[in-house]
Structure 1
Amino acid sequence: MNSLFLLGGVLLFVSVVATTLSARFGMPLLLGFLAVGILAGEQGIGHIRFDSFPLANVIGQLALAVILLDGGLRTSMSSIRLVLKPAAVMATWGVFATVVLLGIFTTFYLGLDWKFGVLMAAIVGSTDAGAVFSLLRNSGVRLNERVQATLEIESGANDPMAIFLVTALITMIMQPEQSGVFAFLWMLILQIFFGLLIGWLGGRILAKLVRRLNLADGLYALMIVSGGLIVFASTNMLGGSGFLAVYLAGVIVGNKHSLATEHVLRVMDGLAWLAQATLFVVLGLLVTPSDVLANGADAVVIAAFLMLVARPIAVFTGLWKGDYSRREKIYISWLGLRGAVPITLAMMPLVMGVPNSNLLFNVAFAVVVLSLLIQGTTIPVMAHRLKVAMPPKPEPVDVQDIWLSETESVQLTAYRVVAESEAEGVHPDKVAPISSSYEWRCFTLIREGRKVELHSDTVLRENDTAWYILPPDQVDKMAQYFTETGSTVRMNFDFFGEFVVDPGSRAGDLAQAYGLKLEAGEESLSLLELFEQRAESKHPVEGDRIEIGDFGLVVKELDGNGSVKWLGLKVPH
């Protein structure tokens, strides 16, 4: 028993430490966990023999439930409302179209029976929530809200279709006499119906319990995790999609902001990392590298077709009526990340005794590794090349909520002084302009790890950390003074333009001032009306733009209701 504990502790410890190396070399952290498992496995330096697919399947299901719950807790309802319809299309049609195209290709390329070829496609056909949540949020790049929300919500909601297709195809192979179109459609309806119903009910119940029960801080997260597992398991037992249910439950709880949810999010972050580390280490132990390499050439061809043909066609056909530019569609096509879900789905044929299912597992494993290596490492590069990346947003280095009651709080925000920023060399209380409608008062200044007494002649130095109590709408504004330098200002000018204009201004006045040519009838429109008339998207997000000759009109800021507050005007040089 102690040997088992020692082994588990060493593997997880090495996995966590190895993430520093993977981050330094620009590799996805998940590959670090996977590499540790492979090195510790039967053909690695650890020589650990682990071949229990049923046990690995149990671990995989449990870990994915925790990862999806954490992802749901961090998904804002505003993001869901923004992209609900297109994300739902991608979670259903997107998976189906990908599987059909890849299944036809795989069948002819490998010379397999069509059911086996489509089964292989169904296993790798859905994007992976764990990979998407982890890689997007740790990539160091800020995507526009429409793209990021679509990728995250699609990955959190596409499991029912993937599980339905895999289950249906296994049934057709193993029990063809029980196969029927109506039976399969009924199974899909149950997957979605019970997933949505129990996820919604479970989320509402958990949200109410979180707000009403008075527990020790650490117990709130345990209650949410245990409640999430109840939702996950009960949905599966009723024939629904437990993955969809636990994700939806997380969304509902996470959007009920309270003292308890703050404690939950802090603990859940560690639990989600533990789940991902455990899952990928186990998968690394389970795989036999020589078998994967033996099918490596086929996996490369299948992965290439998936990334370059099947996924793009599915995205462009699924989003052709949406509010997405061509560049956004290309980026969403490229970010069809595969992770633990395909490998977990590949265990189902092995557990159920499908002939030649080792081939399915090995190819799925190789496709996941290739996806993480190629797509996962190019998230920032492709975002900048396709111009869906946003300039870095000035943010505090730390935020602590001080709760005055169960529902009311104030925020303590910490800002670190960047060299050559406006805050450097200024008294902490004089950072913001005197004309500001809010009195900015610093209550603590930290310098080289020590608290500094504030006097009339105290000035901020590089790397000082100043703490303030601010209303929520002033937090980002204050961050600008601490983080913006000449280079960041130029970066914002390059993206949003040199001037800020009022959306209510008359388009004709702007055209007259700069000699712009407008279409007939556009002179009387406001700039916002002109933008809405010309824009590809009917629901603008920060960074959306239109062209007026050589000039650009860019959405610079939205208000709390999602309406355009300010536009940027980019002038040609």
Structure 2
Amino acid sequence: MTGDLDRALLIGTAVLLVAVAAVRLSTRLGLPSLLVYLLIGVVIGESGLGIPFDDANLTRTLGFCALIVIIAEGGLTSRWSALRPVLALSATLATAGVAVSVAVVGVLVHLALDLDWRLALLYGAVLSSTDAAAVFATLRRLRLPPRLVATLEAESGMNDAPVVLLVVLLSAEASGRSWWHEPVIVAYELVAGVVVGLLVGGAGRMLLRRAALPAAGLYPIAAVALTVLAYAAGAAVHASGFLAVYVAGVVLGNARLPHRRAILGFADGLAWVAQIGLFVLLGLLVSPGELGDAWAPALVVGGALALLARPLSVWISALPSRAGRGLGWRGQAFLSWAGLRGAVPIVLATIPMARAAPGAGRLFNVVFVLVVVFTLVQAGTLAQVARLLGITAPTEATEIHVETAPLERMHADLLQLDVAQGSRLSGVHIDELRLPVGASVTLVVRDGAGFVPGPDTRLRTGDSLLIVATAQVRDLAERRMRAISRRGRLAGWFGEDGREAPPGRPRRRRRASGRPDKRS
């Protein structure tokens, strides 16, 4: 017994350390890290080092546990100020968009692969969920308009809930109930999941702000435990636990909690462990010898999903939303291409396997191949697609997470901004920025050397700025820097307020009023 435990610990820690080291390697090579994790699982599996593993039930259970942690981290690190303008669009993508995607893929798979309707729709349901881990890990490395990033992150955090419900319903045997029963159940579980998440998140926020825990390390544990509690509470009342986790995470993550930075850092570390463990486990479960017959149907299903189902679901979801229409065709095209698939579809494919549904084994192999292909093609080309569509935002400020107590006590954030080629920030002096009270440029990095700027320091193309801003003025500071980047030091004179412009569409300039803005 002790020997088995020692071997398990040896293998587990070795895999974890190799996976951590592989993150840096995959970044240098430009490969998504999830592929490296899957490869590690395949290498140590039955076709490699010979570790046998074929327990679909255990994979599903552990996969759900990992998804809870990953979705919780996504909610905790999401900013409400960025989510609020795109909430309606993201919710529509996660519900109506999912329904459109399932229907389109189901019809095409039924016709192309000659599968029965239930199995064809199951293909569509399993593949209709974008992966939160893949989206969070990929998009936060790119310089994109905040509206696009927030839309994709919120969609990936919310669409797991309806998709899981659909997969469970389609994997079960026909119940003989009325046609309207399932839609009503899905609607109830989604609404109840939101309510549970709000209640748990709100109660947890009050408790953490008022509690005087004896050790700082207990706050991160309590915060993550509250998100898990949201899942359990949702499941207890037959609500969507995944949606409850995401909502609770957003509520907690946007509250001014004690040791907030430590909470976010702890959640980020847990999410990495969950991703590594999940992808390695899925690599273990797959049998590489059975994947040869899955390539042809995977390409058929993938083509239907990428070229028709996803673009159509984005277009239909954007129609009733002002935020969706404001994205323009460029933003909608990027949303269509950036619907990343990762571990979630593979985990969902284990549900029909665990229930021994007809065709479940082939479904798992097809989904596995499809996720690998999509990850290589989509995640590897997102930066190029963004540049091709003209929606890159090199002058957008990005938040830097640092574990420093003074910033936490001051309720401040540290932002990083680059003076890109063509930015009107070049040539502007520090005192001409007119940042709001509570925000200040604290460091300029130029040609690899950093220095503290003075009021007469003149910015140059290629400079990197570090800006400290209190929570109250963070958004104002970002808008001011965005305005000057577009219109220069006289941004206020030209009516530029720095609000985010729809991707690919320049802001309409207001006619000058005849007198300069005092802030300029």
TM-score tier (shorter) = 0.7 to 0.9
- Contact 1:87–1:150 (CA<8 Å) still a contact in 2? yes
Residues 503, 126 of structure 1: alpha-carbon distance in 2 compared, 3 angstrom cutoff:
farther
Q: Describe the shift of the 1:554–1:397 C-alpha distance in structure 2 as closer, same or farther (beyond 3 A).
A: farther
CA pair 386-443 structure 1, distance change in 2 beyond 3 A:
closer
Tell me, yes or no, if the aligned pair for 2:397 and 2:416 is still in contact at 8 Å: no
Partner of 1:541: 500
Report if aligned partners of 2:41, 2:281 keep a CA contact under 8 Å in 1.
Answer: yes
CA spacing shift, 1:39–1:211, aligned 2, 3 Å? same
Other structure's SS at 2:291 match? helix
- Structure with greater strand percent: 1
Aligned to 2:150: 149
Which letter does structure 2 place at the counterpart of 1:18? Answer: A
* Residue type of the alignment partner of 2:65: L
TM-score (norm 1): 0.75
CA displacement 1:45-86 (0-9 Å, x = unmatched): x22111111111111001100000010011111222201111
Partner-residue secondary structure (3-state), 1:178: coil
Q: Does 1:355 align with 2:341?
A: no
The answer on whether the counterparts of 1:160 and 1:241 sit within 8 Å (CA) in structure 2 is yes
Identity %: 32
Structure 2: distance between partners of 1:355 and 1:97:
24
Q: Equivalent residue for 1:58?
A: 61
Task: Compare 227-236 and 306-315 and name the one that shifted more.
Answer: 227-236
Q: Cα–Cα, structure 1 residues 339 and 498, in superposed 2: closer, same or farther, change >3 Å?
A: same
How far residue 431 of structure 1 moved from its aligned partner, in angstroms, is 6.9
The normalised TM-score by structure 2 is 0.82
Work out the CA distance in 2 between the residues paired with 1:38 and 1:107.
31
Match of 2:312 in 1: 313
What is the rounded CA distance, in whole Å, between the counterparts of 2:122 and 2:433 in structure 1?
A: 66
1:214 aligns with 2:212: yes
Q: Give the Cα–Cα distance (whole angstroms) in 1 for the partners of residues 176 and 436 of structure 2.
A: 71
Tell me: CA distance 1:302–1:433, structure 2 relative to 1, closer, same or farther (3 Å): closer
CA distance in 1, matches of 2:467, 2:88: 40
The 5 A counterparts of 1:346-495 are 346-393=349-396, 399=402, 402=405, 409=411, 473=473
In the other structure, the counterpart of 2:35 is 31
Whether 2:52 is the aligned partner of 1:49: answer yes
TM-superposed deviation, 1:164: 2.3
Aligned-residue CA RMSD (Å): 4.3
Secondary structure of the residue aligned to 1:271 is helix
Q: 2:18 is matched by which residue type in structure 1?
A: V
Listed as ranges, the matches of 1:80-99 within 5 Å are: 80-99=83-102
Deviation of the 1:401 alpha carbon: 5.3
Unaligned 5+ residue runs, structure 2? 421-428, 453-461, 511-516
1:77 to 75, 80, 99: 80
Q: Where in structure 2 are the equivalents of 1:118-197 lying within 5 Å? A: 118-138=121-141, 140-142=142-144, 144-171=145-172, 174=173, 176-197=174-195
The C-alpha deviation readout for 1:458-488, integer Å capped at 9, x for no partner, is xxxxx9999997656589979x99xxxxxxx
Q: Deviations over 1:151-207 (max 9, x none)?
A: 111111112321222122223xx2x24343232123202311221111111111111
Matched, 1:234 2:233: yes
CA distance in 2, matches of 1:314, 1:444: 44
Residue 20 (structure 1) aligns with: 24
Alignment coverage as a number of residue pairs = 495
Q: Matched residue of 2:10: which SS?
A: helix
**Distance (whole Å) between structure 2 residues aligned to residue 391 and residue 442 of structure 1:** 18
Once residues 467 and 315 of structure 1 are traced to their aligned partners in structure 2, the CA distance between those partners, rounded to angstroms, is: 36
Report what 1:534 is aligned to. none
In structure 2, relative to structure 1, the CA distance for the partners of 1:212 and 1:36 (3 Å cut) is same
CA, structure 1 residues 108+402, in 2 after alignment: closer, same or farther (shift >3 Å)?
A: same
Q: Which has the higher contact order (CA 8 A, sep 6+)?
A: 2
Sort the Cα spacing of 1:179 and 1:202 in 2 relative to 1 into closer, same or farther, 3 A. same
CA contact (8 A) 1:396 1:415 kept: no
In the aligned structure 2, how far is the partner of 1:318 from the partner of 1:260?
A: 38
